[in-house]
Chain A
């Protein structure tokens, strides 16, 4: 039962991700955020469904399969649960931003420059009189949107390459892994800067370049687990009765690799958000007037003496997002690790 749920989650995930990938390069914040909204609502629905089921199972104290076990562990892990809740909260805040704050994140007010906390501006205004709270919410939107999309793409490409290499082995494996090794040898940050300088800045390009960053890690993990799974009897049996490769991969191999992918993906979202902030610091990130956390922070740190809010707010937000993704990823990893059963 649980396997089916897992598979469904995974395909829903992929479909929404593809939708996002198609829509997001058009650089309209709204499309991205509604994409994430759909995705998140789905995930939350599934999670609550799972928790509901998990409770029911708990009541009868029968544990079927690893899925329930993982859930139980994850639910027990307080930091992981907390970070999950923070992430969900942040996402909803970001998506519902226009309904939460009365201010337009772009609207400048030359009569209210660099103000402190007040009832009209909850977190003050920046050096151009723009509402920091509104900008922060929209910044989270953009950061999460790009982070999630890029990592989903990254995961898909990496997984595909890993699958091909692991399943077919031999020459295919050799070529793919050698190419990835070469790709991995190029200093990524320099490549990103060079590409942004070459093609110009823009959300689509940002996603494109970041989505190619971590291929090696994904491919390696997938390749490893595919190689193990390939040797299992049921896969061999499926092959013998003439089931097509595609089916074997989709039905039997992917479900077995989901867990490590999930861990790696949640860890790389944090990294991605930091990379984008770093590019903003070098002047190559998201272009104004679109608000971005990295841009706000690198602008805000020029005003440390005048208005601490300008740097603290985006700084803490970045910290919160990255930390939550990392803690969540750690939690999932711990939950998956059978050896840590105590």
Chain B
């Protein structure tokens, strides 16, 4: 019997060796394999709910203007130039005339009109609908001029047009196949053509040789969902994928040290924060929130948990985005001070706002970093006689709980570089993402003004006002961290740099990523 085992073992080992040494038959084809933490939910730009869909769609579709290459101002893409009227209510775009969809239809103004109207159409229930709320009507002027009329001046419009969820779709084709079918077989103008989507397995794109910016240097792109970050690290180390994202901090620092791969880190735009209810006692008492701030050693914990893949944050608006108020916000952060925390908690207990042994849950998503920081908060608060436990839930369960005022939660928000996106949805009393139920007329007013004013300086003043009041005075949230974006690539990948939103831009005006 032992012999059988030995023979079988040898056979398996040998066959593995043989298999390993057979050269890949498609070696000549340049294939780029990208690992993603999660599979995109949708590929139809109108339906795309989050960054994974955007990351893939960004390579299939083009937008009117572009914010790729970390641009803070819009650069031309499908629109070669544009004019904005004096009152800021009329936008005119001139389209490039040499652009063709993957099905060889020519791009015209009616496709743009169709796409934007599809986003604004209530029947499509588009997640990005609200970014186009101020648009009154869209009209075409000939084949290559499109005009947007706004109800009121709206500064973030260009950002809305430049985000991947506003990728232009071919009107006739979509009408023919329907929105849902288009989702599983998208057709755009971008550098890569959709080939197939095998759910939970891979999404395959091939190059669009006639792409108007340049012919892509890669023949094929494969996106693979790999749910476990430690497996993702093993994949990039073993050469199973060429680009890895969302790796664990310990894996990143190890791979950087070993030096067999390129490790690139840039400041990201996604933050995490600890939020409290504005309405539910005892969270509604500012002293409670300050006490928590004093009770937890946030600086040490964040350093220990994020291990250099994130910067401690003091405001919702990151450093590189106007209105640049970090210094003041930093001065309003509260230090780790057990005595002060004790003092506040005792005061609250005396007044009967807080009971000894008060039990509550800290709700958070399944993001491992957030679960860990929530664990730290819960552990520290136990020392003050508060029984906190962590509930880490799937988004579908978590969201309704947060919407019903959960009391205490740790969440995050990632977005495009405009202060409006970070603030309006989180602090405006009418927003669904205002999980703290924060409600102050002055804040609402400032946020509304921030949208309708045009000059950056005037807008900035409004956002400074919001941040200073909400975070520096009310401590309604404790900002924790801005996660940086780290991408690890094989040494054979040339020309790739990470984007702050976790996108994978492969072909732009400035780059054409290739595999050697």
Direct contact of A and B (CB under 8 A): yes
Binding site for B on A (CB under 8 A): 106-108, 110-111, 113, 127-129, 197, 200-201, 283, 287-290, 299, 301-306
Which residues of chain B in 26-67 are interfacial with respect to chain A, using CB atoms and an 8 Å cutoff? none
State in angstroms the CA–CA spacing of A314 and B426 once bound together. Answer: 41
Of A108, A290, A304, A305, which is within 8 A of B301 by CB? A108
B376, A201: Cβ atoms under 8 Å? no
Bound together, the chains give a CA A113 to CA B250 distance in angstroms of: 12
CB of B222 closer than 8 Å to a CB of A:
no
Considering the chains assembled together, what is the distance between the CA atoms of A106 and B368 in angstroms? 17
Q: State A104–B229 Cα separation when bound (angstroms).
A: 29
Contact: A289 with B378, CB < 8 Å?
yes
CB distance from A306 to the nearest CB of B (A): 5
B230→A110 contact, CB < 8 A: no
A302 in complex: contacting residue of B250, B303, B304, CB < 8 Å:
B250
B455 within 8 A of A: no
Task: Give the contacting residue for A110; candidates B250, B300, B368, B394; CB below 8 A.
Answer: B300
Given the known interface contacts A113-B304, A128-B372, the answer about A108 and B391 at a Cβ–Cβ threshold of 8 Å is: no
Give the distance to chain A from B294, nearest Cβ to Cβ, in Å. 16
A106 touches B250 (CB 8 A): no
Q: Is B389 a contact partner of A289 (Cβ separation < 8 A)?
A: yes
Q: Which of B297, B303, B374 contacts A288 (CB 8 A)?
A: B374
Of all chain A residues, the one with the shortest Cβ separation from B301 is: A110
B254 touches A306 (CB 8 A): yes
**Is the CB of B291 closer than 8 A to any CB of chain A?**
no
B401's nearest neighbour on chain A, judged by CB, is A200
Contact B392 A106 (CB under 8 A): no
The smallest beta-carbon distance between B27 and chain A, in angstroms, is 31
| CB closest chain-B residue, reference A107 | B379
Interface positions, chain B 264-318, Cβ under 8 Å from A, are 297, 300-301, 303-305
From A127, A128, A287, give the contact of B389 (CB < 8 A). A287
Q: Given known contacts A106-B379, A289-B375, A302-B229, is B301 in contact with A197 (CB within 8 Å)?
A: no
Contact status A305-B254, CB under 8 Å: yes
Which B residues are in CB contact (< 8 Å) with A201? Answer: 391
Contact between B304 and A128, CB atoms less than 8 A apart: yes
State in angstroms the CA–CA spacing of A305 and B376 once bound together: 24
Instruction: Kindly provide the distance from the CB of A286 to the nearest chain B CB, expressed in whole angstroms.
Output: 10
Given contacts A288-B378, A302-B248, A306-B254, contact A129 B304 (CB under 8 A): yes
**Whole-angstrom CA separation of A299 from B251 in the bound complex:** 13
We find that the number of chain B residues with CB closer than 8 angstroms to chain A is 29
> Which listed residue (B250, B379, B391, B397) contacts A306, Cβ 8 A?
B250
Is B119 an interface residue when CB atoms closer than 8 A count as contact? no
- Nearest Cβ in chain A — how far from B436, in angstroms? 22
Chain A contact residues, majority secondary structure:
loop
- Can you list, as one digit per residue, whether each of B362-382 has a CB less than 8 Å from chain A (1) or not (0)? 000010100110111011001
Q: Which residues of B contact A (CB under 8 A)?
A: 229-230, 248, 250-251, 254, 297, 300-301, 303-305, 366, 368, 371-372, 374-376, 378-379, 382, 389-394, 397
Task: For A127, list chain B residues within 8 Å (CB).
Answer: 250, 304-305
Other-chain residue from B248, B250, B379, B390 in contact with A108 (beta carbon distance below 8 A) = B379
Quick check: A303 and B250 within 8 Å, CB to CB? Answer: yes
List, sorted by A's number, 7 A–B pairs whose CB atoms are closer than 8 Å.
A110-B301, A128-B304, A287-B390, A288-B378, A289-B378, A289-B379, A302-B250
- Is B392 touching A305 in the complex (CB atoms < 8 A)? no
The answer for the CA separation of A111 and B305 in the assembled complex, in Å, is: 12
Interface centre among A107, A301, A305, A306 (most CB of B within 10 A): A305
A304 to B248, CA, bound (A): 12
The answer for the CA separation of A200 and B248 in the assembled complex, in Å, is 27
If A106-B382, A108-B379 touch, whether A283 touches B366 (CB-CB below 8 Å) is yes
CB distance from B143 to the nearest CB of A (A): 51
Q: Is the CB of A302 within 8 A of B378?
A: no
Contacting pair A305 B379 (CB below 8 A)? no
Separation of A152 and B311 alpha carbons in the complex (Å): 49
Establish whether residues B254 and A288, one from each chain, have CB atoms under 8 Å apart when the complex forms: no
CB contacts (< 8 Å) of A106 on chain B: these are 379, 382
B246 to chain A, nearest CB (A): 13
From A201, A301, A302, name the one whose CB has the most chain B CB atoms within 10 angstroms.
A302
* Most chain A beta-carbon contacts within 10 A, residue among B254, B301, B304, B368: B304
* Complex contacts, B376 vs chain A, CB 8 Å: 108, 128
Closest A residue to B302 by CB, please name it: A110
Residues in chain A near residue B382, CB distance under 8 A: 106, 289
Look across to chain B and name the residue whose beta carbon is closest to the beta carbon of A105: B379
Chain A residues closer than 8 Å to B366, beta-carbon distance: 283
